[in-house]
Amino acid sequence: MTLREAVRAAVSRIRRVARAADSVAATEVDRARHRRDRADLALFHEFAPPPYGGGNQFLLALKNELERRGLEIELNRISGATTACLVNSFNFDFRRLRRFDRPGCRVVHRVDGPIGAYRGFDDGTDDRIAAINADLADATIVQSRFSLEGHRSLGIELRDPVVVHNSVDGALFYPPQSREPLSGRKVRLIATSWSDNPNKGGETFEWLGRNLDWRRFELTLLGRFPGSFQHARVLAPVASSGVADELRQHDLYIAASRNDPCSNALLEALACGLPVAYLNSGGHPELVGDGGLPFARVEEIPEVLERLAREIDDRRASIRVSPLSEVADRYLEVLGVSRSA
């Protein structure tokens, strides 16, 4: 290494140390300032601009519902008199939370997964979630019974778990005022996805492209669907309002994801009044109930779709999605926060 390179390397190290020190100092100043303030609830989650995944969309809807009630929510910090904090899975700055954490603030950990089952590989994320839960959580909100039992099968006992399904923004996701009868036209199928994860069911839709009776059905795939799909209309991701509009123009929804603990995409379709053909996996059976029918193999899907089309009115009437207001009440109950400010 030349003298000039050595000097540059030393300067670079000094700058990295200085930036780290500035970050810690800024956090401590921020923490001291917010000790004098009070929010009703702290929320630790790294939000991404929509359209994005289900957890992000649900927490946006929950945050909006709580703020509509007049509750003050602080993101990624805990004020001095704040008595409750909701942290999401592993999608937050753990070290920052550790610096803010203090006695008297109840920490509730929102958990989905197991992540290894959902992603199809184990990269240590489930162990990380378990460590966070054991270290910081006073209680746990688990998104489905499937998720709770999945963690237990891995030997992970979450702290004081309560099952609370997700919900959706009812101002966006609701059934249409009227629907075109099925008689004399094709049955309109739709699926939505925001992930490239192979467990989202891409192979299922490729199979349908080759084998479904396209004189009887038409299919829309909205979001991220890597692959080649015969006969399908493939649309790029859009904002939630666009998703809702598209769902309301269709008749049936196909949920093909595997080991999905509590699919927000599925809940959005149900909330728009679409009966569901779903892979009998993950949290799908809990969410759908009598509002749809399961399949175990792709070869079963055509008959499931035919039966849903015959029973469409009864299946629509059987759809049940917990209103966001009720889900928010359950969250506040576990957090120990009053339901209104």
253-285 tens-digit pLDDT:
999 999 999 999 999 999 999 999 999 999 999
Distances (CA, A) of 117 to 21, 141, 142, 205, 213: 39, 19, 15, 21, 33
7-33 tens-digit pLDDT:
465 546 655 655 555 555 455 545 444
Residues 51/237, Cβ–Cβ less than 8 Å:
yes
Domain spans, the chain: 29-167+324-335, 187-317
Beta strands in the chain (DSSP E): 41-44, 73-75, 84-88, 106-111, 139-142, 161-163, 187-193, 217-223, 233-235, 252-255, 276-279, 292-295
**Per-residue confidence (pLDDT) for residue 52, from 0 to 100:** 66
With respect to CATH, is domain 187-317 assigned 3.40.50.2000?
Answer: yes
DSSP string covering 95-153:
HHHHHH--TT-EEEEEE---HHHHHTS--SHHHHHHHHHHHH-SEEEES-HHHHHHHHH
Check if 29-167+324-335 and 187-317 are the same fold: yes
**Per-residue confidence (pLDDT) for residue 11, from 0 to 100:** 47
Amino acid at 46: E
137-159 tens-digit pLDDT:
999 999 999 999 999 999 999 99
For each successive 10 residues of the chain (341 residues), what is the average pLDDT? 54 56 50 61 86 81 95 92 92 82 90 82 85 93 96 94 96 96 96 86 92 96 87 92 97 96 96 98 97 98 98 98 97 89 50
Residues 111/159, Cβ–Cβ less than 8 Å:
no
CATH fold, domain 29-167+324-335, is Rossmann fold (3.40.50)
pTM: 0.84
**Per-residue confidence (pLDDT) for residue 32, from 0 to 100:** 46
